[in-house]
Amino acid sequence: MTIVLGANQYGKAETRVVRVDRDGDRHALRDLNVSVALAGDFTEVHLSGDNSAVLTTDAQKNTVFAFAREHGIASPEEFALLLAEHFVGSQPAVRRARVAVEEFGWERIPATGHSFVRTGQEVRTARVVHTAGATHVVSGLRDLVVLNSTGSEFWGYVKDEYTTLPETRERILATSVTAEWRHLAFDDSYASVKAVLLDAFAVTHSLSLQQTLFTMGRRVLEEVPGIAEIRFTMPNRHHFLVDLEPFALDNPDEVYYAADRPYGLIEGTILRDDVPAAEEAWIS
Amino acid sequence: MTIVLGANQYGKAETRVVRVDRDGDRHALRDLNVSVALAGDFTEVHLSGDNSAVLTTDAQKNTVFAFAREHGIASPEEFALLLAEHFVGSQPAVRRARVAVEEFGWERIPATGHSFVRTGQEVRTARVVHTAGATHVVSGLRDLVVLNSTGSEFWGYVKDEYTTLPETRERILATSVTAEWRHLAFDDSYASVKAVLLDAFAVTHSLSLQQTLFTMGRRVLEEVPGIAEIRFTMPNRHHFLVDLEPFALDNPDEVYYAADRPYGLIEGTILRDDVPAAEEAWIS
Amino acid sequence: MTIVLGANQYGKAETRVVRVDRDGDRHALRDLNVSVALAGDFTEVHLSGDNSAVLTTDAQKNTVFAFAREHGIASPEEFALLLAEHFVGSQPAVRRARVAVEEFGWERIPATGHSFVRTGQEVRTARVVHTAGATHVVSGLRDLVVLNSTGSEFWGYVKDEYTTLPETRERILATSVTAEWRHLAFDDSYASVKAVLLDAFAVTHSLSLQQTLFTMGRRVLEEVPGIAEIRFTMPNRHHFLVDLEPFALDNPDEVYYAADRPYGLIEGTILRDDVPAAEEAWIS
Amino acid sequence: MTIVLGANQYGKAETRVVRVDRDGDRHALRDLNVSVALAGDFTEVHLSGDNSAVLTTDAQKNTVFAFAREHGIASPEEFALLLAEHFVGSQPAVRRARVAVEEFGWERIPATGHSFVRTGQEVRTARVVHTAGATHVVSGLRDLVVLNSTGSEFWGYVKDEYTTLPETRERILATSVTAEWRHLAFDDSYASVKAVLLDAFAVTHSLSLQQTLFTMGRRVLEEVPGIAEIRFTMPNRHHFLVDLEPFALDNPDEVYYAADRPYGLIEGTILRDDVPAAEEAWIS
């Protein structure tokens, strides 16, 4: 046998850049966390420590800051695109760049022009994978925590020897949505997608979290143009109805214990059948 | 010398209770994390393991759930009051109960009646300390992250041998506000206090974070009736202007690096001079 | 276009199970966090909410506890194997089971038989992917934090227009090792692999973190039999030499600032060229 | 009424400093997280933003690094003492300095001289409070996670209307110890105290966690000279015996579910009756 180098990448992770656009008294703010990963002809640095093909991660960080000044931040996706194209275009050894971005939301404090408060609701995400042959743009969000206090059932499942869960026609359904959608051609439809996700979660009468997940994905693909596929990771944040009988109390679907662990975890992809797959878009 | 037992308390921490109020199609939701700590005549359990005075922490947890059913959750403060009075009133050994509550905010998903999304902005807090002789109610919030993109200066400070920081007439001022205010008599003024805190942060032209902190506190005491004192913990979330000169770029207060550690930490109390101190209210 | 369901899986995540083996006064302890993910014929539950093929995640949790009693926990890998085979073997709809395990280490408190203290050093990990056709076993660890205070250089890299980093022949090299190795046939060689990883990190004179990473992997494959490939994720935990000149002090490689973000992130796979690839083993 | 400034302090938190002592091939390492808080005559900076009495937190950070070079780090307590005395001694406005330190442990990788691995077991802590009139030194640790698999009972407690917990003569007792001990005169007895804490936890047949806590404290005061008092915070990390009867299995104290929340929380102080109290030592 011979021992060889397989897949590898490197880069600067979590460069925290904030750009302020000052237009008189009314400022705008973008607040990003940018992670770069480069792959290509990097065998020598692994085998002998020869760094002659290596663009330092420190230079990658500098590039993030310089590009924020030179090009501004139109959106996390467009900023990631600029960076990914730059690294592949300027470094002969770099065959593929993946730029992942988190964006933290801020809203203006009422009646002010340059004061902001973090929205805190969800984190917007983006990732771009760029090679000489292809460019993939994926938008997303994480930590969008939602709950339906009715309209959720769970019954009709397998009963094996380890099944003790009683069936229910009424439960709380709660999850923290992580979703990422791949664009055919990037268009900044973030607000539309978020609105569809919230509405689909709310209006779906749910027989399982899987059904809710699929419906959310189907509706995004149907209602927002230009999206090839959407991937979800949705923990089932269990809310257990508390048994109050020992205290001579009923509990008419009113008092719940919100549990931490363990939790169900539901993952799924919804896609159009007329679009080629693109696994490369999803490298982490 | 003799070795003796000093101050002590015990209780159930972090009981996660969610109460749904169902009124036709329009539900309401309260989502709390409740921590109880009891103090009193508990020497024997420490010295000999005699538990005859001990109300189990498991029973405390049950009480939280049962009270959510029996009394509802009008506000985190009122729920904490009910619990604290119950433990002191019903257990001879318990001389003091402290009930601390975190409340997680939810807002209705537009155009729905029973679907919610976590607001995520700040966590509301409350604590009640109750003894036979006195009851203290403290309301608060944490993780309210705010930023002014202008209107902040920092100069005129001590220059000792370890001082290298250049003075500035223009910087970003950002912090994560933790504030707790003690009531003379509890009134649910949470929304008013939050609004004053945000406005005071925004409109204060700041020569130091201490000045901003004091102004925020002064304005709460002036504008919201019935508050004896307010305590702040405010980290200075440093945003450093990036030096882009090595890349032949200027940086006209536009591109910043948001740093994690270290950070300045500013703590202060603002109070009325006509109200007696009440250290007991603030036990952790 | 038609909208269809793509890849999907579901299961119970993070079941925390502790098993005590009592043998007179000398007990043994295994402390696991078990996450199950099942894939197969689950289209209906997504499309219509028909749960008739669904083994509940609650039953999966129960199975973890019951198997800990019935079979014991010989190692995280063997426990994961039992579970994965059970789910595929007993549920017609389940075509693939992935069981991921974290194990938390405990050591005996000196001179005692049933008292333990968490070692805290690293977390041991395991994952098994089982289908009718194949079984893959991957062992690993995370959070093994290591540091060389000398023997590390970094120079000879690309100098582009954004490069400002000075070359160095002496730096601190520190990282938090995440490593996972795929077995040809499982053998519990955890302690050997960990020892080789530590020794290889220590004795490699490093010209780059990539070189160190490759050497660590090569040595594991050379020195521990039966391993097909090993994958690393290694953040470069930057330790910056502090400039003390403003205080009229030199700094002969003595005082460092340990930075949090951003950080370099190095990822790589080392493998034998005579073993077929098995991407399925690595699904997350 | 008049609105006035109450207690306040400010400083630089979480300066991460690593010092390497190089002595030929055998290096030594200290890895600290240092937080400074200064109090004194700082009314003006709050009221008007006049910074003329303010030593910047940036200078405090610089001082930490410079002192690590000038004085070395003999122990976290001695390093904190040097810093606290410096700030009070050199700044007229500073009446009190509190320096809190976390120390992260490293052990040498076997058979090497300059390679280290994080021990990970517990975090060592220290805090010094220094004024013109008094100096207090508190040593401590946190995150020391311990477990007894037998030798713990819990019965004989109050049964109120919310009590459902069954009594037990056999349970797992597990906790994460946070302990801090105040010195009469500082002596580096960290290893001795940790050893006593572990042994006392292990050998105490426990009727309650409070009893274990008191015994741990009493033994430290008896066996380690020069300690005035010790304070504990000990969560009861519940391990619940899993009911396996639904699966036709017994569970002879063998398989447990390790729960996260809620948890019991036990806090207590053990002290010598011949030593004056010193609340000032414990400001956070």
Q: What is the pLDDT along chain C (284 residues), one digit of tens a residue?
A: 899 999 999 999 999 999 999 988 899 999 999 999 999 999 999 999 999 999 999 999 999 999 999 999 999 999 999 999 999 999 999 999 999 999 999 999 999 999 999 999 999 999 999 999 999 999 999 999 999 999 999 999 999 999 999 999 999 999 999 999 999 999 999 999 999 999 999 999 999 999 999 999 999 999 999 999 999 999 999 999 999 999 999 999 999 999 999 999 999 999 999 999 999 999 98
Q: Nearest to residue D142, comparing CAs of D174, D172, D120?
A: D120
Active site positions of A, annotated = 12, 57, 238
Q: Which residue has the tokens 């000196």?
A: C110
Are C120 and D118 in contact, with CB atoms under 8 Å apart?
A: no
pLDDT for position D1: 80
Q: Which of A145, A136, A121 is nearest to A229 (CA)?
A: A136
Instruction: Answer whether residue C282 is part of any domain.
Output: no
- CA D53 to chain centroid, in Å, comes to 32
Measure Cα distances from B202 to A113, A121, B194, D177 in Å: 9, 21, 12, 42
Among the partner residues A246, A247, A260, nearest to D260 by beta-carbon distance: A260
The catalytically annotated residue of B61, B86, B194, B238 is B238
DSSP structural state of residue A24:
T
Handedness of CA D61, D64, D66, D68 (dihedral sign): negative
Q: Which residues of B touch A114 (CB under 8 A)?
A: 148-151
Domain match, B225 and B196 both: yes
Do residue D157 and residue B56 have CB atoms under 8 angstroms apart? yes
**Does residue B12 have an active-site annotation?**
yes
Q: How many CB atoms lie within 10 A of CB D164?
A: 14
B148 belongs to a structural domain = yes
CATH number at residue C207: 3.10.270.10
Q: Is residue C121 part of a domain?
A: yes
* 3 state DSSP class of B69: helix
| CA atoms of D117 and C236, how far apart (whole Å) | 15
- Tokens (6 digits) for D243: 């009911």
Nearest to B51 among D56, D155, D214 (CB): D155
Mean pLDDT of B118-138: 97
Q: Do C272 and A35 touch (CB under 8 A)?
A: no
Q: Is A35 within 8 Å of C265 when comparing Cβ atoms?
A: yes
Question: What is the predicted pLDDT for the residue at A24?
Answer: 82
The last residue of a domain, from among D69, D104, D133: D133
Establish if B35 belongs to a structural domain.
yes
Token reading at B73: 């959750």
Residue B23 clears pLDDT 90, i.e. is over it:
no
d(CA B227, CA B239): 33
Which pair of tokens denotes residue C62?
Answer: 């129960």
| Separation CA D279–CA B269 (nearest Å) | 19
Number of other CB atoms surrounding residue D107 within 10 Å: 13
Tell me: do D80 and D189 sit in the same domain.
no
Q: Which chains touch A (3 or more CB pairs under 8 A)?
A: B, C, D
d(CA C88, CA D132): 72
CB pairs under 8 A between A and B: 195
- In the DSSP assignment, the letter for residue A194 is H
pLDDT tens digits along D153-200: 999 999 999 999 999 999 999 999 999 999 999 999 999 999 999 999
Alpha carbons A130 and A81: distance in angstroms, whole number: 8
Percent of chain D with pLDDT over 90: 98
Mutate to test the interface with C, among D15, D170, D237, D242 (most CBs of C within 10 A): D242
Chain C residue nearest residue A35, CA to CA: C262
End of a domain among D133, D168, D190?
D133
Task: Pick the closest to residue C150 from D29, D16, D104, D69 (CA basis).
Answer: D29
Chain C positions in Cβ-Cβ contact with residue B164 (cut-off 8 Å): 246
CA neighbor of D139 nearest in space, from D97, D188, D177, D195 = D188
C94 shares its domain with C145: no
Section D220-242 average pLDDT: 98
Residue A156 pLDDT > 90: yes
Query: Is 90 exceeded by the pLDDT of residue B25?
Result: no
**Does the pLDDT at position A170 exceed 90?**
yes
Q: CA of D123: how far to CAs of C144, D32, D79, D163, D178, in Å?
A: 16, 10, 16, 37, 9
Residues A159, A125 share a domain = no
Name chain D contacts of A261, Cβ cutoff 8 Å: 260
**Contact residues, chain C to chain B, C-beta under 8 Å:** 161-162, 164, 246-247, 260-261
* Count of structural domains within chain B: 2
| pLDDT at site B250 | 98
Nearest CA in chain A to C67: A162
Mutate to test the interface with A, among D159, D239, D257, D261 (most CBs of A within 10 A): D261
Question: Got the DSSP string for chain C?
Answer: --EEEEEEEEEEE-EEEEEEEEETTEEEEEEEEEEEEEEES-HHHHHT---TTPPPHHHHHHHHHHHHHHH--S-HHHHHHHHHHHHHHH-TTEEEEEEEEEE--EEEPTT-SSEEEE--S-EEEEEEEEESS-EEEEEEEEEEEEEESSSB-B-S----TT--PPPBS---EEEEEEEEEEESS----HHHHHHHHHHHHHHPPBSSHHHHHHHHHHHHHHHSTTEEEEEEEEEE--EEEP--GGGT---SS-EEEE--SSEEEEEEEEEETTS---GGGG--
Mutate to test the interface with B, among D35, D94, D265, D284 (most CBs of B within 10 A): D265
Instruction: Give the one of C65, C120, C252 whose C-beta lies nearest to D257's C-beta.
Output: C65
Is residue D257, in this structure, part of any structural domain at all?
yes
Q: Could you give the residue ranges of the DSSP H alpha helices within chain A?
A: 43-47, 57-71, 76-90, 190-203, 209-223
Interchain proximity D18–C258, CB inside 8 Å:
yes
C101: chain D residues, CB-CB within 8 Å: none
Record: contact C69-D255, CB cut-off 8 A: yes
Angle between helices C57-71 and C76-90 (to 10 degrees): 130
A·D CB contacts under 8 A: 9
What percentage of residues in chain D have a pLDDT greater than 70? 100
| Three-state DSSP class for residue D51 | coil
The beta-strand segments (E) located in chain B are: 3-13, 15-23, 26-40, 94-103, 106-108, 115-118, 123-131, 135-148, 173-183, 227-236, 239-241, 255-258, 263-272
Cβ <8 Å between B272 and D4: yes
The Cα B73–Cα B64 span in angstroms is 11
Q: How many CB atoms lie within 10 A of CB B283?
A: 15
Among residues D12, D86, D130, D136, the one annotated as catalytic is: D12
Q: What is the average per-residue pLDDT within A275-283? A: 95
Cβ contacts of A246 on chain D, cutoff 8 Å: 164
In the predicted structure, residue A25 carries a pLDDT above the cut 90:
no
Q: Look at residue C1 in the predicted model and tell me its pLDDT.
A: 80
Burial class, A185, CB count within 10 angstroms (exposed 0-12 / middle 13-18 / buried 19+)? exposed
Whether residue B164 and residue C246 make contact (CB cut-off 8 A), yes or no, is yes
CA atoms of D227 and D180, how far apart (whole Å): 10
D243-271: average pLDDT: 98
CB–CB contact A163 C90 (8 Å): no
Nearest C-alpha in C relative to A44: C211
Determine how many CB atoms are found less than 10 A away from the CB of residue D241. Answer: 16
Element holding A27 (H helix, E strand): strand A26-40
Count of H helices and E strands in chain B? 5, 13
Classify residue C71 as left (phi > 0), alpha (psi -120 to 50) or beta: alpha
DSSP-derived 3-state class of residue A273: coil
Contact residues on chain A for B114, CB-CB shorter than 8 A: 148-151
D55 domain residue, yes or no: yes
Same structural domain, B61 and B95: yes
Q: What is the ipTM of this complex?
A: 0.96
The answer to whether the Cβ–Cβ distance between B257 and A144 falls below 8 Å is no
Average pLDDT over chain A, rounded to an integer: 97
Residues A178 and A126 in one domain: no
Q: Which chains touch C (3 or more CB pairs under 8 A)?
A: A, B, D
Q: Do C164 and B261 touch (CB under 8 A)?
A: no
User: Of the candidates B106, B133, B160, which is a domain's last residue?
Assistant: B133
- Write out the residue range of the structural domain in which residue A224 sits: 144-277
CA dihedral B162, B164, B169, B174 (to 10 degrees): -70
From B43, B57, B215, B269, active-site residue: B57
Q: Based on the fold, state whether residues D30 and D124 are members of the same structural domain.
A: yes
Say if residue D69 is in the same domain as residue D149: no
Measured CB to CB, residues of chain D less than 8 Å from chain A are 161-162, 164, 246-247, 260-261
CA-based nearest residue to A164, from D253, C79, D244? D244
Residue C72 one-letter amino acid:
G
**In-domain check, residue D2:** no
Chain A hits for D247, CB-CB cut-off 8 Å, are 161-162
- Token pair of D185 as six digits: 């005169």
Residues of C in contact with A90 (CB under 8 A): 160
The torsion angles phi and psi of A146, rounded to 5 degrees, stand at: -130, 155
Query: What whole-number distance in Å separates Cα of residue C128 and Cα of residue C138?
Result: 6
Percent of chain B's residues with pLDDT above 90: 98
DSSP class of residue B202 equals H
Cβ C37–A214 below 8 Å, yes or no? no
Are residues C165 and C248 part of one domain?
yes
CB C5 within 8 Å of CB A230: no
Encoding tokens for residue B117? Answer: 């999304």
Residues A81 and A148 in one domain: no
pLDDT at B24: 82
**Same domain? D180 vs D266:** yes
Buried/exposed code over D16-44 (b: 16+ C-beta within 10 A; e: otherwise): bbbbbeeeeeebbbbbbbbbbbbbbebbb
Residue D23 has pLDDT above 90, yes or no: no
Between the CA of residue D188 and those of D64, D80, D284, what are the distances in Å?
A: 21, 13, 22
Residues in A closer than 8 angstroms to C165, CB to CB, are 56, 58-59
Torsion, Cα C202 C208 C209 C212, to 10 degrees, reads: -40
A51 near A10, Cβ under 8 Å?
no
Over the stretch B196-243, which tens digit does the pLDDT of each residue have? 999 999 999 999 999 999 999 999 999 999 999 999 999 999 999 999
Chains with 3 or more CB pairs under 8 A to chain B: A, C, D
Interface test with D, best of A239, A255, A261 (most D CBs within 10 A): A261
On whether the CB atoms of residues C148 and C202 are closer than 8 A, the answer is yes
Q: Say if A282 falls within a structural domain.
A: no
Residues A78 and A152 in one domain: no
Half-sphere exposure of B73 (CA within 13 A, CB side): 25
Question: Which residues are paired to B39 by β-bridges?
Answer: B96
User: Which member of A116, A150, A250 has the closest CB to residue B114?
Assistant: A150
